[in-house]
Amino acid sequence: MRILVFGAGAIGSLFGAKLSKYNNVTLLGREEHIQKIRERGLIIRGKTRAIFHLNAISRLEDYKTEPDIVIITVKSYDTDTALKNIIDYFGKDIYVMSLQNGLDNVEKMRKLFDEEKIIVGLTTEASLFLKPGEIEHTGRGKTTIGSLKNTRFLEQLYQEFVKAGFETRISNNIERDVWRKAIVNACINPLTAIFGIKNGVLKNKVLSEIVRDICRESIEVARGVGIEIDYEDMLREIWEVIDLTSENLSSMLQSIIKGRKTEIDSINGYIYNLGKKVGVEAKINKLLTELVKIREEFK
Ligand SMILES: NC(=O)c1ccc[n+]([C@@H]2O[C@H](COP(=O)([O-])OP(=O)(O)OC[C@H]3O[C@@H](n4cnc5c(N)ncnc54)[C@H](OP(=O)(O)O)[C@@H]3O)[C@@H](O)[C@H]2O)c1
């Protein structure tokens, strides 16, 4: 399978490298990272330890064939630009897969691609960008893939993910799964980013009450667009993730520490704005979005 990974940073480089064992994979990323990969291969440390020699480009114009699928791994705020570049260069007759967090990516893809071409992936694999040419596979996790309309291609892709060593399942309701992952992120990311705390600190009495409120409010907004999520079940999943990652810094906190933009608009910000449309006043999600933006501004 010819696979183009659009946005080879932490997670894109990990998936691209491991998929390259049995597929023709090209990483598209920033010049410095790509240059190092070309010079001496991509070094992966941590749970995966190897050097991968694979195609790497920093300009789409250097991709001289047509991929079977483009896997998008840019941060959610870069999805629009990525999709526009993909359409301009390849047209609409290819599969596109979002392997990102956030609630707005599928919506953005839907505006540009036919539903049968859209695949969505969610992963709890964890990866860190160490320096150009080098990443760390910090945690093994599970990957879920699904399509908006049944496509046989999904099954082929599933086989490739499994062969690459990713524990993968096919979802028959990927949109609900996107919501579930987003609600986990909505509960963990902003609070840890605002207070600069490890995930485990969220079990504090006051913070855990806020986690429950975010969960309740977000589920209500999801219900407004026809996504049913059981509160107790969702909360159980959130505490499970918090327990499993209690010593970790959330991705949003890591972005704040690095002085980078966060994905808050695609998570809590998205929930708040959608709430307005469906008649749910998502006050906590609004407040958290505003507070994270203050943290982004005052580094
Ligand atoms: N890392 C994880 O463990 C993990 C796990 C699960 C899900 N995710 C999700 O996966 C997505 C990506 O996360 P990440 O941690 O991999 O982010 P990341 O390390 O920032 O990777 C994205 C990369 O894409 C590059 N990029 C953006 N636009 C580009 C363009 N037009 N051409 C070439 N390169 C471009 C970025 O460069 P610049 O930084 O210079 O813009 C960056 O190097 C997010 O939605 C995240 O929530 C991450």
Q: How many domains does the chain have?
A: 2
Co-location of 104 and 69 in the same domain: yes
Co-location of 213 and 191 in the same domain: yes
Q: Ligand 1 center to residue 231 CA distance, Å? A: 31
Q: Which of 172, 192, 221 is the last residue of a domain?
A: 172
Q: CA 227 to CA 97: how far, in whole Å? A: 21
Co-location of 190 and 209 in the same domain: yes
CATH code of 224's domain: 1.10.1040.10
78 lines ligand 1 (CB under 6 A): yes
Q: Which of 137, 172, 207 is the last residue of a domain?
A: 172
Q: CA 86 to CA 190: how far, in whole Å? A: 31
Q: Which of 144, 172, 200 is the last residue of a domain?
A: 172
Co-location of 46 and 147 in the same domain: yes
The residue among 192, 196, 198 whose CA lies nearest residue 214 is 192
Co-location of 216 and 126 in the same domain: no
| Residue nearest atom 30 in ligand 1 by C-alpha distance | 7
Co-location of 94 and 195 in the same domain: no
9 lines ligand 1 (CB under 6 A): yes
Question: Each residue's pLDDT tens digit in the chain (299 positions)?
Answer: 999 999 999 999 999 999 999 999 999 999 999 999 999 999 999 999 999 999 999 999 999 999 999 999 999 999 999 999 999 999 999 999 999 999 999 999 999 999 999 999 999 999 999 999 999 999 999 999 999 997 889 999 999 999 999 999 999 999 999 999 999 999 999 999 999 999 999 999 999 999 999 999 999 999 999 999 999 999 999 999 999 999 999 999 999 999 999 999 999 999 999 999 999 999 999 999 999 999 999 87
For β-strands 134-139 and 55-57, DSSP reports them as unpaired
| pLDDT for res 290 | 98
192 lines ligand 1 (CB under 6 A): no
* Residues β-bridged to residue 143: 123, 168
Co-location of 126 and 266 in the same domain: no
Co-location of 197 and 132 in the same domain: no
Co-location of 15 and 98 in the same domain: yes
Please state whether 123 falls in left (phi above 0), alpha (psi between -120 and 50) or beta: beta
28 lines ligand 1 (CB under 6 A): yes
Co-location of 200 and 135 in the same domain: no
Print the domain residue range for 257: 176-297
Q: Ligand 1 center to residue 284 CA distance, Å? A: 27
Q: CA 83 to CA 233: how far, in whole Å? A: 34
| pLDDT for res 203 | 98
Co-location of 40 and 167 in the same domain: yes
Atom of ligand 1 nearest to the CA of 123: 6
Q: Is 181 a catalytic residue?
A: yes
Atom of ligand 1 nearest to the CA of 9: 21
84 lines ligand 1 (CB under 6 A): no
68 lines ligand 1 (CB under 6 A): no
- Largest CA-CA distance found in the chain, in angstroms, rounded: 56
Atom of ligand 1 nearest to the CA of 85: 31
What string of DSSP letters covers 154-219?
HHHHHHHHHHTT-EEEE-S-HHHHHHHHHHHHHHHHHHHHHHT--GGGGGSHHHHHHHHHHHHHHH
100 lines ligand 1 (CB under 6 A): yes
| Sheet of strand 42-46, all strands in order from the earlier edge strand to the far edge | 50-52, 42-46, 134-139, 126-131
Query: Pocket of ligand 1, candidates 74, 123, 168, 264: which has the most ligand atoms within 8 Å of its Cβ, to mutate?
Result: 74
Co-location of 24 and 41 in the same domain: yes
| Residue nearest atom 43 in ligand 1 by C-alpha distance | 9
CATH code of 51's domain: 3.40.50.720
| Residue nearest atom 33 in ligand 1 by C-alpha distance | 29
| pLDDT for res 253 | 98
127 lines ligand 1 (CB under 6 A): yes
Q: Which one is catalytic: 181, 205, 261, 283?
A: 181
